[in-house]
């Protein structure tokens, strides 16, 4: 416990967490501070490209093997299965409708790439190595949760979820997924030489851009919390804190079964514990337009995201270190 608290204290004092806190406080205080939408979009593109490229270069250095394939399959299975657990928990804990519960569950089966990046930053700061191909696992875990949510709706309410060509296009051609997978492929093809050529662009500025991006995320989360007071009941809020720990437990078991390094287990826990606020909301607008975005967006971005940044990641690092001996 002392190790978790110590790491959490260090994490809370890091520039990326303080940047998020600044944005959150500014929004809650109704400050006029804003980040232009074009700038925020540019920072998102930069972060996705950088993390994807570096992951692809790492795979090029290590080669394609059974460990990578096993991790990809495990990630896809986890993404599909976690929504069923989240849906059941929501139906027990809250009074959310079937549609709202399924929409929320989809977010928790998918992943937050920014939480993943933050966990990678913490691991680097602690000197803990991880498998470079985990960024590919992150990409694989984006979509299966959406399919699971639509299955839940069709089985529990006699229909309502749309699995048509428009939705498949939204899932498979979502900008964040295309950019992450594409950058990963470029990094894989060009390898160490390619990474060396653009290292001044994707390595040195990375932490600074991440700080500014999290400042914007704090502003968005704060505004969401202000606007969702009527629907964010105590049980719903509690779900946003409990579900990450449940998801992380699944990630821990899978990471240990796969024989991943300490850092790899931490990243699997983080992916399983995080909640999407980019790809899945876009898909839900198409598939379940009747679901309330104030609930699923505020839960994923306003509750689970800050929990993972401040307490979740230190917990995952401490538990993975204890279980792997790292």
Paired tokens of 304: 């689970």
What b/e string do you get for 17-27 counting C-beta neighbours within 10 Å, with b at 16 or more? bebbbbbbebb
**Residue 264 confidence (pLDDT):** 95
**Residue 91 confidence (pLDDT):** 94
Tens place of pLDDT per residue across the chain (326 aa): 555 566 666 667 788 889 988 999 999 999 999 999 899 889 988 988 988 898 888 888 877 788 889 999 999 999 999 999 999 999 999 999 999 999 999 999 999 988 998 899 889 888 999 998 898 898 888 888 988 888 888 777 555 555 566 667 766 677 777 888 888 899 989 998 999 999 999 888 988 998 998 899 889 888 888 877 777 889 999 999 999 999 999 999 999 999 999 999 999 999 999 998 877 887 787 778 888 888 898 899 889 999 998 899 999 999 999 999 87
**Residue 259 confidence (pLDDT):** 94
Paired tokens of 67: 């460990």
Phi, psi of 226 (to 5 degrees): -65, -40
Specify whether the CB–CB gap between 79 and 145 falls below 8 A.
yes
Alpha-carbon gap, residue 114 to 309, rounded angstroms = 10
**Residue 3 confidence (pLDDT):** 59
Q: To 5 degrees, how large is the angle CA 123–CA 48–CA 23? A: 75
For the chain, give the secondary structure using H, E and C.
CHHHHHHHHHHHCCHHHHHHHHHHHHHHCCCCCCCCHHHHHHHHHHHHHHHHHHHHHHHHHHCCCHHHHHHHHHHHHHHHHHHHHHHHHHHHHCCCCHHHHHHHHHHHHCCCHHHHHHHHHHHHHHCCCCCCCHHHHHHHCCCHHHHHHHHHHHHHCCCCCCCCHHHHHHHHCCHHHHHHHHHHHHHHHHHHHHHHHHHHHHCCCHHHHHHHHHHHHHHHHHHHHHHCCCCCCHHHHHHHHHHHHHHHHHHHHHHHHHCCCHHHHHHHHHHHHCCCCCHHHHHHHHHCCCCCHHHHHHHHHHHHHHHHHHHHHHHHHHHHHHHHCC
Integer Rg of the chain from CA? 19
């Amino acid at each position: 416990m002392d190790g978790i608290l110590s790491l959490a204290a260090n994490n809370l004092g890091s520039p990326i967490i303080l940047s998020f806190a600044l944005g959150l406080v500014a929004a809650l205080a109704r400050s006029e501070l804003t980040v232009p939408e074009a700038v925020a979009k540019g920072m998102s593109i930069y972060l996705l490209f950088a993390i994807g490229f570096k992951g692809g270069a790492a795979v090029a250095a290590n080669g394609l093997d059974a460990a990578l394939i096993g991790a990809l399959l495990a990630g896809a299975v986890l993404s599909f299965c976690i929504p069923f657990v989240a849906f059941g928990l929501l139906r027990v804990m809250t009074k959310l409708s079937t549609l709202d519960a399924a929409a929320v569950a989809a977010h928790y089966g998918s992943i937050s790439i920014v939480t993943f990046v933050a966990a990678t930053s913490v691991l680097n700061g602690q000197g803990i190595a991880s498998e470079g191909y985990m960024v590919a696992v992150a990409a694989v875990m984006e979509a299966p949760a959406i399919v699971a949510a639509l299955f839940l709706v069709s089985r529990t309410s006699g229909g309502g979820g749309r699995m048509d060509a428009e939705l498949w296009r939204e899932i498979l051609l979502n900008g964040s997924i295309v950019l992450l997978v594409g950058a990963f492929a470029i990094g894989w093809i060009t390898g160490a030489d390619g990474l060396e050529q653009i290292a001044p662009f994707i390595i040195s500025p990375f932490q600074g851009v991440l700080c500014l991006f999290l400042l914007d995320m704090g502003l968005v989360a704060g505004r969401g919390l202000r606007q969702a007071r009527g629907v964010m009941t105590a049980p719903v809020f509690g779900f946003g804190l409990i579900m990450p720990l449940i998801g992380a437990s699944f990630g821990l078991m899978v990471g240990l079964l796969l024989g991943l390094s300490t850092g790899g287990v931490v990243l699997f826990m983080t992916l399983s514990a995080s909640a999407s606020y980019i790809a899945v909301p876009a898909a839900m607008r198409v598939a379940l337009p009747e679901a309330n975005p104030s609930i699923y967006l505020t839960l994923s971005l306003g509750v689970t995201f800050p929990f993972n940044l401040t307490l979740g990641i230190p917990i995952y690092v401490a538990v993975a270190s204890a279980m792997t001996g790292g």
